[in-house]
Structure 1
């Protein structure tokens, strides 16, 4: 059993990660600004805190810290500030950082020169989030003293998708499934992240997952 802190544990992705970690018998600390009063489960507690108020003292006893942080609309620049803060409080510790990344910064060409968010089909409304998440990833990738893994979903990140337990893995390029779609359910994404936590294969790397 590991002690896993989850920033944004009650959000869309965070809820699936929390559920999957609990299903596997881990101790989960949900890090949220407003802890729900109606959720009572074994091995689940809540830490009332904004990400930017977290300190080394708050996280030093975790085996893993997952960030499912998503900046508010109009404040997308906060993605970079959030990453800088996490790197600062985690530097020099043994706590592993797992980041719920975005698909927009994945590449769509074999030469790794064109991001998904550079394509004509990418919605303008999503560009501020994707571009700023990409900047946060670049900062994390350049960090020297943090144990990290960054997991990007596919282009379509499905809240109501099936929990199949199956997925395929890639690195820097956007993946597609056998039907020509780039999608992954949040349930299968959570399985992939917990698989990585329990059996690390992508330390100091970004990788991506897609439905089969």
Structure 2
């Protein structure tokens, strides 16, 4: 498959690229600074400057966009909507590396994780920004998007076990009763989802098995 990874210098993006390359896929990275990933094909360009021509012909586009500056939180929605605009009306699927805070903690889907009493206040703006981007995507049927939430504990330097459990809109726990996944196992799950091609216009989640 021919796959583009946008914001390719991010840590999750780099692992997604590594995983896809190990499976024989053709990967092109896009980032605003010099290439730091294993992608041999690379375009240095800001995500909001990308055009339909830049993404034409790809089977899938992965956005690993992330930001921590509170003043830039609206860019989660801006970037995902821009990419959705670029793939709208085409067969190219858009995969968003999302957040866990907007996962529901009840079967009625009335309470999201970021609304629970124990949710860390310092992460609330980030979680809500991710959630706003997801809400904006839900309103679109013209683009084939898939929003992929990690577990609540997203471990940067965790091991690649190659094992994970697929969840949906609700917070899913591992066999050990934890909501945790490593960046590396998230990359495995993302690659599997791209190869399978399902879950169009859905939010799904990945957790350690």
TM-score between the two structures when normalised by the length of structure 2: 0.95
Q: Which residue of 1 aligns with 2:191?
A: 194
Rounded Cα–Cα distance in structure 2 between residues aligned with 1:94 and 1:200: 11
In 1, Cα distance between equivalents of 2:60 and 2:198? 15
Segments of structure 1 that go 5 or more residues without pairing to the other structure are none
Tell me what 2:134 maps to. 137
Matches within 5 A, 1:1-212: 2-36=1-35, 44-74=40-70, 75-212=72-209
Deviation (angstroms), 1:121: 1.4
Distance 1:178 1:195 in 2: 21
CA apart distance, 1:174: 0.6
**Gapped regions of structure 2 (runs ≥ 5):** none
Q: How many residues align?
A: 208
Answer yes or no: is the 8 Å Cα contact 1:148–1:204 preserved in 2. Answer: yes
Comparing 65-74 with 51-60, greater Cα deviation is found at 65-74
- Aligned residue for 2:127, secondary structure, equals helix
Deviation string for 1:101-147 (max 9, x for gaps)? 10000001111111111112111111111101111111111101111
- State the shift of 1:201 in Å: 2.9
**CA–CA distance in structure 2, aligned partners of residues 35 and 3 of structure 1:** 21
Rounded to whole Å, the distance in 2 between the matches of 1:72 and 1:161 is: 21
Aligned partners of 1:27 and 1:44 also within 8 Å: no
Alpha-carbon distance in 1 for matches of 2:149, 2:29: 21
Runs of at least 4 residues off by over 6 Å: none
Separation of aligned partners in 2, 1:135 and 1:19: 29
SS of equivalent residue, structure 1 residue 87: helix
Question: Please, what TM-score do these two structures have when normalized by structure 1?
Answer: 0.94
Please say if residues 173 and 179 of structure 2, whose CA atoms lie closer than 8 Å, have aligned partners that are also in contact.
yes
CA RMSD of aligned residues (A): 1.4
Shift of 1:67: 0.5
